[in-house]
Structures are given as structure tokens and as C-alpha cells.
Amino acid sequence: MSFDALLKLIPTYVGELLALLAGPRRFFAGQDLDNRKTLAEALLFLLNSAIVAYVLRVPFAGEEAAYWRTAIVAVVLYVPTATALGAVAFGCCRLLGGQGGLSGHVAVFARIAGVGAVALALVQLMAKGMLRMELPPEDFALYPEYMQRLYAGQPLDDPRFRDLAESPDLTTAVLIQAAGLVLIFCWLAWAWRVYADWNRISAARAYAAFALFLVVGYGVSVMFGYAQAAMGVSAF
């Protein structure tokens, strides 16, 4: 594919991203989810989104050489993770009377996961950008380790973290990320209505499948997370 052809793909990708954000049900209403071409296009969108999300994190990458060395592995791993979650969505919807096929469920979730990856990267960019402007360099350098320990529920009594933990800017950054995660989850729940349409089931049944998906999908995500950690990478 020529460079000019690649450039032409950019407005197509951006247009699809904005259309998905504005109305996922309207976006999928005009698609044949049984068509393998639709699945291929959705997986390409997912791959492009993973690359965009990874590039958005570049300004705050720790060790640049290591970051780019693991970039391909992280991006490639993100695609099968989202594909597996699409299969989980298929199983959950089928248990609640869904009629749609596997490829359609994977295609829908690939698009959803692509939007989620880009949105999460933007939220992280906002939070870290604000911290970089406000915090001393030595405190900002501790931020990734601090957040990793915070999310893992590990002790934060290391004296190195004292100034960072007491900073109101850190509180603001955490609130930005928390608000972003809530908004992403709300958009995911809104987009899930596509499965109600696709499976020809009621919204109540679709959201019962959604609740089941959250439980089973979490387990699947953890398994892929272990695989990523074993390979020394982290996808978003």
C-alpha cells in the first residue's frame, strides 16, 4: 500500500470514530454484521485504534527505547484480547436468547474496544499532561509507580511518595482518570444496545447479558493481562 493510500485512510478512520461516538446504534444499523468484510473492517479499526492509543502515550513513555520495543507486542496482544471479549459477548447474549452470529458480535465489540482504547489514552494524556505542568520533575517521575501500586492495592508508605501523595494536583489527576473511566463505561453500556438490535432481544435481556459479560469478561481480561505481564508489556 502506498503512502498516499495510507493518508486516505486517516479521514475514513476519524469519520468512523466520530460516528461511533455519536451514535453506535445508528452506525451499526446500516451494516451487515453477517458479512465477513464487516468483521475484517472492524478488526482493522481495532488495530488502528490500538496504534493511535499507543502513539498518544508516547509523550509520557518512561524509557523510549523499551516503549517502542514492546509497542508491536502490546498492540498485537490487544487485538486477540478484544476478539476474545467479543466471543464472550456472543456467549452471554446466546444464553439470554440472542440470535446473532459470532462474527457479528466480534465485529461490534472490536469497534467498541477501539473507541475505548483511544478514549482511555486521551484521558491518561490529559491527567499526565496536567501533572507534568504542575509537579516537580522528581515527583512526576514517581507517578507511574505510584498509580500502579494504587490500582494493585499495594502499600503506599514508601517515603518517596510522601510529597506526591500530599499534592492536590495528584488528587485532580486521579479524579480526571476516574471521571474518564466512568464516561467510557457509560458509553460502553449505551453501545451495548447494539446487541439488543442484532440479537432481536429486549433491552432487559441484553443488559442481563451485559451484567454476565462484565463478570466473565473480567476473568478473560485478567488472563490476557497475565500474558501481557509475562511478556513484559502493558496494553493501555
- Average pLDDT rounded to a whole number, residues 211-224: 85
pLDDT at residue 143 tops 50: yes
The reported pLDDT for the residue numbered 68 is 62
Could you give the dihedral angle defined by the CA atoms of residues 156, 127, 69 and 87, in that order, rounded to the nearest 10 degrees? 90
- Nearest C-alpha neighbor of 176 from the set 220, 134, 227, 224: 134
What's the half-sphere exposure (Cβ side, CA atoms, 13 Å) at 123? 20
Going by pLDDT thresholds of 50, 70 and 90, the confidence category of residue 97 is very high
Range ranked top by mean pLDDT from 9-23, 99-113, 154-168: 99-113
pLDDT above 90: residue 76: no
CA dist 176 → 59, 69, 125, 181 (Å): 18, 29, 10, 9
Task: Locate the domains of the chain by residue range.
Answer: 11-230
